Amino acid sequence: MPTFPAPIDSRLPWVGTTIFTVMSRLAAQHGAINLSQGFPDFSAPQALFDLVAKHMNAGANQYAPMAGALPLREAIAEKVAALYGLTFDVEQEITVTAGATQAIFTAVAALVRPGDEAIVFEPVYDSYVPSIELNGGCAVPCRLTFPDYRPDWSEVRARITPRTRMIVINSPHNPSGAVWTAQDMLQLEQLVRGTNIVIVSDEVYEHIVFEGRHESVVRYPGLAERSFVVSSFGKTYHVTGWKIAYCLAPRELMAEFRKAHQFVVFCVNHPMQLALAEFMKDKQRYLGLADFYQAKRDFFRKQLEGSRFVPLPCPGTYFQSVRYDAISDEPDRAFVERLTKAHGVAAIPFSAFYRDGRDDKVIRFCFAKGEETLARAGEKLRAV
Alpha-carbon gap, residue 265 to 124, rounded angstroms:
25
Q: Are residues 264 and 129 in the same domain?
A: yes
Q: Is residue 4 part of a domain?
A: no
Q: Is residue 221 part of a domain?
A: yes
Q: Is residue 36 part of a domain?
A: yes
Q: Is residue 7 part of a domain?
A: no
Closest CA to 199 of 222, 218, 223: 223
Closest CA to 41 of 205, 207, 314, 238: 238
Q: Are residues 50 and 98 in the same domain?
A: yes
Q: Are residues 308 and 262 in the same domain?
A: no
Whether the Cβ atoms of residue 199 and residue 169 lie closer than 8 Å to each other:
yes
Rounded alpha-carbon distances, angstroms, from residue 104 to 40, 94, 153, 177, 292: 22, 14, 23, 20, 27
CATH number of the domain encompassing residue 210: 3.40.640.10
Alpha-carbon gap, residue 248 to 169, rounded angstroms:
15
Q: Are residues 188 and 250 in the same domain?
A: yes
Final residue of a domain: which of 281, 297, 330?
281
Burial zone of 8 (CB within 10 Å; 0-12 exposed, 13-18 middle, 19+ buried): exposed
Q: Are residues 23 and 166 in the same domain?
A: no
Q: Is residue 11 part of a domain?
A: no
CATH number of the domain encompassing residue 324: 3.90.1150.10
Whether the Cβ atoms of residue 235 and residue 243 lie closer than 8 Å to each other:
no
Q: Are residues 208 and 250 in the same domain?
A: yes
Whether the Cβ atoms of residue 248 and residue 224 lie closer than 8 Å to each other:
no
Whether the Cβ atoms of residue 251 and residue 89 lie closer than 8 Å to each other:
yes
Q: Is residue 3 part of a domain?
A: no
Q: Is residue 70 part of a domain?
A: yes
Q: Is residue 13 part of a domain?
A: no
Please enumerate, as own/partner, the contacts of 135-139 that have beta carbons within 8 Å and a separation of 24 or more. Answer: 135/108, 135/109, 136/112, 137/108, 137/112, 137/113, 137/165, 137/166, 138/163, 139/355
Q: Are residues 317 and 242 in the same domain?
A: no
Radius of gyration of the chain (CA): 21
Domain count, the chain: 2
* SS3 label, residue 198: strand
pLDDT for the residue 3 = 84
Q: Are residues 178 and 311 in the same domain?
A: no
- Sheet of strand 164-170: strand arrangement: 94-97, 245-248, 227-232, 198-202, 164-170, 117-122, 138-143
Q: How many CB atoms lie within 10 A of CB 140?
A: 18
Q: Are residues 33 and 71 in the same domain?
A: no
Give the structural domain span for 190.
46-281
pLDDT for the residue 2 = 86
Q: Are residues 270 and 344 in the same domain?
A: no
Q: Are residues 125 and 256 in the same domain?
A: yes
List, for the chain, all residue ranges whose pLDDT scores fall below the cut of 50.
none
Q: Are residues 72 and 32 in the same domain?
A: no
Final residue of a domain: which of 281, 314, 336?
281
Final residue of a domain: which of 229, 263, 281?
281
Dihedral pair phi/psi, residue 66, rounded to 5°: -55, -40
Whether the Cβ atoms of residue 112 and residue 152 lie closer than 8 Å to each other:
no
The string of pLDDT tens digits covering residues 315-350 is 999 999 999 999 999 999 999 999 999 999 999 999
